């Protein structure tokens, strides 16, 4: 625990030396501070040397402490007090100044010594008004005074003349008791004065905290971002006005775990795991997820959170802000699509298709039981179509062919346009026999689905090469080369054909009418 002095009045002279001093490092001060904190009462130290003491004739001193707890936090028991302590208000006293004018009308006949603790010794002496040892047998009395969690011992001696002045036993009791009570009353009065001052300062601190919190909430409500606060248990304890306007809900609906109902269901489990991890490591985070807006639309949110700590360095939760990044995400998707897909057909471009092919090759190399197939497709006599109808119609033929592929492909299949009228398809977890069936179906569908152009029909056929991708494949490029060689053989055999490279055979498939 670190408890540096952060406020002193007056802020001048000897007080400047005490500013920033960590009182908790001193065992005597620490004992009184702990007593004050754990009992929520005044704590008084034993003998200390005040940091502010500048005189060459340094006086012994002591301090009184009053605990100040976090605003609106419980401190009804010792555990709560230790968890929610904010600091201490304290008052230092120089012992000679403190003891001035205590003793009454016969004060000159009495000698008082104060000892720190219950033992009387030179080492524990805090105060004495005896210039020289008392001669003769006077009256003496020792009183143990417990106050503020600390014990002082008062040793009262009288001059010999005082004993002669007292004629009865009763006045002696009254005198000794009166002096002791005078001391106790003085301490009590000063204690309550200090407590009153401390309570006034504590009230001022609480007022400042309240004003600070009001300023924070005013700024947070005026900010153009969604701001939230959580406690140490991941429960939301506050949201700003922008959040409530964005979600269209009341504050009470979002507190605790209520806000999670706004997160897209497919992301909720993942989000909870990531948040729980960051609460464990207590580090800042940036998370992107989809949050339901007041109109029911799900928007992409960038949620930034940082951990919060109190003055004692204890973790108390997170504070964070959210911004709507939907437009940014849409632009990212558009840029990604431009970078990875063919603009005419919507399939992957050659570069990204090769990336996916290498990924599939790597997946198969990790498990010798896996295998996939690769198709190379080419539109027969595509140059004739361009020459006869023009490039615009040629583009329409390519888009028409792409639509046919989409109607026949499975969800797991990966299609790419390799260039011009040439296409490739990855068939994951597919053997050659299954790939042949898929290729035949595509071949027949293309042959019986001509493109309607003005008053005529443009008939289309394709050639297909099939290759296997398995643990024995040298590389992704070699498999692609095998499929390309099979495609070349299909063209050499008369087009509108399917050739399977690994079988080294050409099968002529005629379209059905």
pLDDT tens, N- to C-terminus, the chain (513 residues): 778 888 877 777 777 777 788 888 889 889 999 999 999 888 898 888 887 765 556 778 888 899 998 887 888 888 989 988 988 888 888 877 777 655 544 455 667 788 888 888 888 888 787 755 445 556 677 888 888 788 888 887 766 655 555 554 455 555 555 555 556 556 655 655 555 666 666 666 556 656 666 666 777 777 788 999 999 999 999 999 889 999 999 999 999 999 999 999 999 999 999 999 999 999 999 999 999 999 999 999 999 999 999 888 899 999 999 999 998 888 888 888 888 889 899 999 999 999 999 999 999 999 988 999 999 999 999 999 999 899 999 999 999 999 999 999 999 999 999 999 999 999 999 999 999 999 999 999 999 999 998 878 999 999 999 999 999 999 999 999 999 999 999 999 999 999 998 544 444 444 444
Do 276 and 317 lie in a common domain?
yes
CATH number at residue 295: 3.30.450.20
89 exposed, middle or buried (CB, 10 Å; 0-12, 13-18, 19+)?
Answer: buried
d(CA 469, CA 472): 8
Do 375 and 245 lie in a common domain?
no
Task: State the greatest distance between any 2 C-alpha atoms of the chain, in Å, as a whole number.
Answer: 144
Match 């443009």 to its residue by tokens.
458
178: how many CB neighbours lie within 10 A of its CB?
Answer: 14
Query: Quick one: the chain helix, strand, coil %, rounded to 5?
Result: 45, 25, 30
Residue 512 forms part of a structural domain: no
Q: Is the dihedral of CA 173, 175, 179, 181 positive or negative?
A: positive
Question: How is residue 372 written in tokens?
Answer: 């996939």
Do 197 and 312 lie in a common domain?
no
167: how many CB neighbours lie within 10 A of its CB?
Answer: 9
Question: Any bridge partners for residue 147, and if so which?
Answer: 150
CATH number at residue 369: 3.30.70.270
Q: By three-state DSSP, how is residue 475 classified? A: coil
Q: What backbone phi and psi angles, to 5 degrees, belong to 299?
A: -115, 145
Match 């002095």 to its residue by tokens.
5
| 366-384 CB burial, b ≥16 within 10 A, e <16 | eeeeebbbbbbbbbbebee
Residue 217 forms part of a structural domain: no
Question: How is residue 239 written in tokens?
Answer: 């949201």
d(CA 328, CA 450): 41
Check: CB of residue 483 under 8 Å from CB of residue 353.
no
Where does 186-297 show beta strands of DSSP type E?
226-230, 236-239, 285-292
d(CA 403, CA 417): 13
Check: CB of residue 123 under 8 Å from CB of residue 102.
no
Q: What is the pLDDT of residue 453?
A: 84
Q: From 447, 353, 345, 454, select the one nearest 403 (Cα to Cα).
A: 345
Q: What is the pLDDT of residue 391?
A: 92
Domain boundary among 155, 186, 210: 210
Domain boundary among 178, 210, 242: 210
Please write down the HEC assignment for all residues of 414-448. EEEEEECCEEEEEECCCCHHHHHHHHHHHHHHHHC
Residue 92 forms part of a structural domain: yes
Residue 315 forms part of a structural domain: yes
Q: What is the pLDDT of residue 508?
A: 45
Residue 53 forms part of a structural domain: yes
CATH number at residue 83: 3.30.450
Do 322 and 452 lie in a common domain?
no
d(CA 89, CA 68): 7
Contacts 24+ apart (CB under 8 A), 156-162: 156/110, 156/111, 156/112, 156/180, 157/110, 157/111, 157/112, 157/113, 157/130, 158/109, 158/110, 158/111, 159/109, 159/110, 159/111, 159/134, 160/134, 160/135, 160/136, 161/109, 162/106, 162/109, 162/110, 162/138
Question: How is residue 109 written in tokens?
Answer: 């006949």
DSSP characters for 40-93? TS-EE--SB--TT--SSSPPPEEEEEEEEE-TT---SSHHHHHHHEEEEEEEEE
Q: From 16, 18, 29, 21, select the one nearest 3 (Cα to Cα).
A: 21
Q: Is the dihedral of CA 185, 186, 191, 193 positive or negative?
A: positive
Residue 216 forms part of a structural domain: no
Domain boundary among 306, 330, 354: 330
Check: CB of residue 395 under 8 Å from CB of residue 343.
no
Going from the C-alpha of 441 to that of each of 219, 374, 423, 476, the distances in angstroms are 65, 15, 16, 25
Do 189 and 98 lie in a common domain?
yes
The total number of structural domains that make up the chain: 3
Going from the C-alpha of 413 to that of each of 239, 345, 420, the distances in angstroms are 45, 16, 21
Q: What is the pLDDT of residue 123?
A: 82
Count helices and strands (H / E) in the chain.
15, 20
Do 360 and 473 lie in a common domain?
yes
Residue 215 forms part of a structural domain: no
Strands 456-458 and 451-453, by their bridges, are antiparallel
Do 286 and 369 lie in a common domain?
no
Do 325 and 345 lie in a common domain?
no
Contacts 24+ apart (CB under 8 A), 262-268: 262/291, 262/292, 263/289, 263/290, 263/291, 263/292, 264/289, 264/290, 264/291, 264/292, 264/298
Residue 250 forms part of a structural domain: yes
Q: What is the pLDDT of residue 184?
A: 59
Do 191 and 319 lie in a common domain?
no
Do 351 and 458 lie in a common domain?
yes
Provide the domain limits for residue 135: 1-210
Match 């000063």 to its residue by tokens.
190
Do 194 and 232 lie in a common domain?
no
Q: What is the pLDDT of residue 22?
A: 85
Do 271 and 166 lie in a common domain?
no
């Amino acid at each position: 625990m670190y408890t540096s002095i952060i406020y002193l009045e007056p802020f001048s002279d000897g007080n400047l030396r005490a500013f920033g001093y960590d009182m908790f490092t001193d065992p005597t001060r620490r004992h009184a501070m702990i007593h004050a904190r754990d009992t929520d009462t005044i704590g008084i130290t034993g003998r200390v040397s005040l940091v502010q003491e500048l005189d060459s004739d340094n006086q012994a001193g002591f301090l009184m402490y009053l605990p100040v707890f976090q605003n609106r936090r419980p401190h009804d028991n010792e555990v709560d007090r230790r968890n929610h302590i904010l600091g201490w208000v304290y008052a230092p006293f120089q012992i000679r100044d403190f003891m001035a004018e205590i003793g009454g009308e016969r004060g000159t006949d009495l000698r008082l010594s104060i000892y720190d603790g219950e033992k009387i010794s030179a080492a524990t002496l805090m105060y004495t008004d005896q210039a020289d040892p008392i001669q003769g047998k006077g009256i003496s009395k020792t009183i143990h005074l417990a106050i503020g969690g600390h014990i002082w011992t008062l040793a009262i001696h009288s001059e010999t003349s005082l004993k002669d002045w007292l004629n009865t036993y009763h006045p002696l009791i009254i005198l000794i008791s009166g002096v002791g009570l005078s001391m106790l009353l003085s301490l009590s009065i000063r204690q309550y004065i200090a407590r009153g001052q401390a309570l006034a300062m504590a009230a001022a601190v609480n007022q400042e905290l309240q004003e600070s919190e009001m300023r924070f909430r005013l700024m947070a409500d005026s900010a153009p971002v969604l701001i939230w606060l959580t406690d140490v248990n991941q429960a939301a304890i506050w949201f700003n006005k922008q959040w409530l306007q964005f979600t269209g809900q009341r504050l009470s609906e979002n507190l605790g775990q209520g806000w999670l109902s706004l997160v897209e269901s497919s992301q909720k489990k993942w989000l909870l795991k990531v948040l729980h991890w960051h609460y464990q490591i207590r580090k800042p985070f940036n998370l992107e997820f989809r949050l339901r807006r007041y109109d029911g639309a799900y928007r992409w949110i960038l949620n930034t959170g940082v951990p919060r700590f109190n003055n004692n360095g204890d973790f108390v939760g997170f504070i964070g802000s959210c911004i709507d990044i939907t437009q940014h995400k849409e632009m990212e998707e558009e840029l990604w699509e431009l970078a990875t897909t063919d603009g005419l057909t919507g399939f992957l471009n050659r570069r990204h298709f090769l990336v996916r092919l290498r990924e599939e090759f790597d997946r198969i190399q990790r498990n010798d039981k896996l295998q996939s197939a690769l198709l190379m497709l080419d539109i027969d006599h595509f140059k004739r179509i361009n020459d006869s109808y023009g490039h615009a119609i040629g583009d329409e033929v390519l888009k028409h062919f792409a639509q046919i592929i989409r109607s026949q492909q499975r969800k797991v299949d990966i299609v790419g346009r390799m260039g011009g009228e040439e296409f490739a398809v990855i068939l994951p977890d597919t053997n050659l026999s299954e790939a042949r069936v898929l290729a035949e179906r595509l071949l027949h569908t293309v042959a019986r689905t001509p493109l309607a152009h003005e008053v005529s029909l443009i008939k289309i056929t394709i050639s297909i090469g099939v290759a296997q991708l398995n643990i024995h494949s040298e590389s992704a490029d070699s498999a692609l080369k095998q499929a390309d060689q099979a495609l070349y053989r299909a063209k050499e055999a008369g087009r509108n054909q399917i050739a399977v490279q690994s079988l080294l055979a050409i099968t002529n498939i005629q379209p059905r009418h």
